[in-house]
Structure 1
């Protein structure tokens, strides 16, 4: 199957290094529109949709393959091999940060750096680990999603977005959730919220910038602090933002932190 068609791959401009933008649950590559243009003069920029999202080929969706994040990581690895030029930096939102970590483990050394936006290796509290949710909360969330996906989307998207004072962003995310095919969204939600990737990120040596909102119900600051401790070459940057999508609601704060982190690989220095 044609990779470009399967994942709706788009390439913007060129440069000595490649930024690959990978979206989160319920989203597609258009969610990066507030951020990616900042980098097109200095980098090759590649964006794509996970199979089942956006303008990807829905006929390529395989419920067995995508019943674990490893299926999405395999797709990302193929996209890197086909479209990346020079050093590869993954810019990943939410669950895609763990998909990126899995892709990194698949081919060690192929990925040069990570920018993880609102990442979480595990959403469920466990012992001393604070993920932000009790197991029963996740089961309740998934049960509601199973019984009324559109209603769940309309209720949860504004909560996930946060961004008080920017209602258009909540509407944009709600519309994105509602465009996603419900059965695919339900499975991806279950895979996302039930995954535990703490062992996969432990000790990963790839340089990583962790961008964590100061107020985020989905991935609280404690999760960013956990990742910072688990990733030896990481930098934790707290973005003054309410919500899980700072790349949309606080893009300038994100791009400022990224400019500093990405300087070693940039084609043109920032003034």
Structure 2
């Protein structure tokens, strides 16, 4: 989500400017000059407006989100929270340490979810709630985000993400798996299809949510301007943010407290976002390390998988939002047009974060697709899989099984 990262950097600077202004006003009030009145008395020429304006801006700098959230969102009917269940950390194919959660009956057909950039597996909490009665729902944190850790001496890159996803795919027991990816998660799946076609015999189908097939700057709003700025401005700014990691992180937290970060992230939602959803997403992108996020943004700017889906031998479902400014609907049209087995579905009035904003619609479409491409699912459900107790102990084999032949 490179565009939102840029917007968050700008709003962080704005939030920092508000904080600096409040400090200046409070200091100028305190350090007002001494004057002599007509009676010969000495007094401080303090201006009350400086004090009250400074205090107001200071309060906004650290409490503003409590005002911003209700102004920008709808009231919650089903709150979203960045909370985790019991997961486990397992070695990935590249040597990364991958945090994985598994929900649902052990014998049910599996759906493996990969989140978007800056997020973590809690992004799929609605999917865990909606689908784990019928499916084995598996969600993981991409390396460097959430509770997953990058391997030593490895770069943040899509081929490595695809290799780690391939390791998880190999390790998932049972029949073929449905792969679901949002944003960079969908890009990771396309990279897997391109780089590891031999693993498609482990895949029942692919679901791509609000994603693209190439450098995201080419398929987002203002693409011409952003492409022109990529080399001279955007990439140097991302490198600088990576080098100034701690300062950027502190600024990001201050922007989170002031609500400025929420304003930036609101642009990634459409008409239905609730307060808890905006808070959830903003918390994730604030607490994930800026250095890792900048490395991932740079990796996306130099990525392309055009034509990869043409070689995909399994059914494909592409879901896009008609108000998506990060990966415009045209990108979904290109991807679905690459393969005769692909279908496109459009969700109205949602933006890039549609899988959270309208989780009800997205999860229904994912479930319908998964049942259509996993013939055993209906039989298993009829045999009582819905009532089976989750058995996390059967979810993953020994760590050594994750490694063969996938590291680059």
- d(CA) in 2 for partners of 1:199, 1:52: 28
Counterpart in the other structure of 2:298: 190
* CA shift in 2, pair 1:169/1:138, >3 Å: farther
- d(CA) in 1 for partners of 2:271, 2:277: 7
Counterpart in the other structure of 2:134: 42
Counterpart in the other structure of 1:7: 98
- d(CA) in 1 for partners of 2:90, 2:331: 37
Q: What's the RMSD between the two structures over aligned residues? A: 2.6
Matched, 1:80 2:80: no
Gaps of 5+ in 2: 1-88, 242-247, 256-260, 387-408
Counterpart in the other structure of 1:177: 285
- d(CA) in 1 for partners of 2:286, 2:271: 19
Matched, 1:57 2:170: no
Which of the numbers 163, 179, 182 marks the counterpart of 1:93?
A: 182
Please state how far the C-alpha of 1:33 moved relative to its aligned partner: 0.7
* CA shift in 2, pair 1:138/1:38, >3 Å: farther
Please state how far the C-alpha of 1:245 moved relative to its aligned partner: 1.4
Counterpart in the other structure of 2:308: 200
* CA shift in 2, pair 1:63/1:222, >3 Å: same
The answer to which of 167-176 and 216-225 deviates more is 167-176
Per the alignment, in what secondary structure is the counterpart of residue 33 of structure 1?
helix
Q: Deviations over 1:194-238 (max 9, x none)?
A: 311113233423211111011100111111111111122111010
Per the alignment, in what secondary structure is the counterpart of residue 57 of structure 1?
coil
- d(CA) in 2 for partners of 1:193, 1:84: 35
- d(CA) in 2 for partners of 1:30, 1:165: 17
Counterpart in the other structure of 1:102: 191
Tell me which protein shows more helix as a share of its residues: 2
Please state how far the C-alpha of 1:44 moved relative to its aligned partner: 1.2
Per the alignment, in what secondary structure is the counterpart of residue 242 of structure 1?
coil
Matched, 1:69 2:158: yes
- d(CA) in 2 for partners of 1:165, 1:109: 38
TM-score (norm: length of structure 2)? 0.59
Per the alignment, in what secondary structure is the counterpart of residue 215 of structure 1?
coil
Counterpart in the other structure of 1:251: 359
- d(CA) in 1 for partners of 2:274, 2:235: 27
- d(CA) in 2 for partners of 1:51, 1:61: 11
* CA shift in 2, pair 1:63/1:163, >3 Å: farther
The answer to which of 145-154 and 226-235 deviates more is 145-154
Counterpart in the other structure of 2:72: none
The 8 Å contact of residues 90 and 99 in structure 2, kept in 1 or not, is answered as: no
The 8 Å contact of residues 104 and 111 in structure 1, kept in 2 or not, is answered as: no
Matched, 1:268 2:381: yes
Paired residues in the alignment total 263
* CA shift in 2, pair 1:174/1:137, >3 Å: farther
The 8 Å contact of residues 238 and 298 in structure 2, kept in 1 or not, is answered as: no
- d(CA) in 2 for partners of 1:157, 1:71: 27
The 8 Å contact of residues 187 and 212 in structure 2, kept in 1 or not, is answered as: yes
Gaps of 5+ in 1: none
Q: Deviations over 1:151-192 (max 9, x none)?
A: 688264332234565243222212111111121111111112
The answer to which of 79-88 and 110-119 deviates more is 79-88
Per the alignment, in what secondary structure is the counterpart of residue 349 of structure 2?
strand
- d(CA) in 2 for partners of 1:131, 1:175: 24
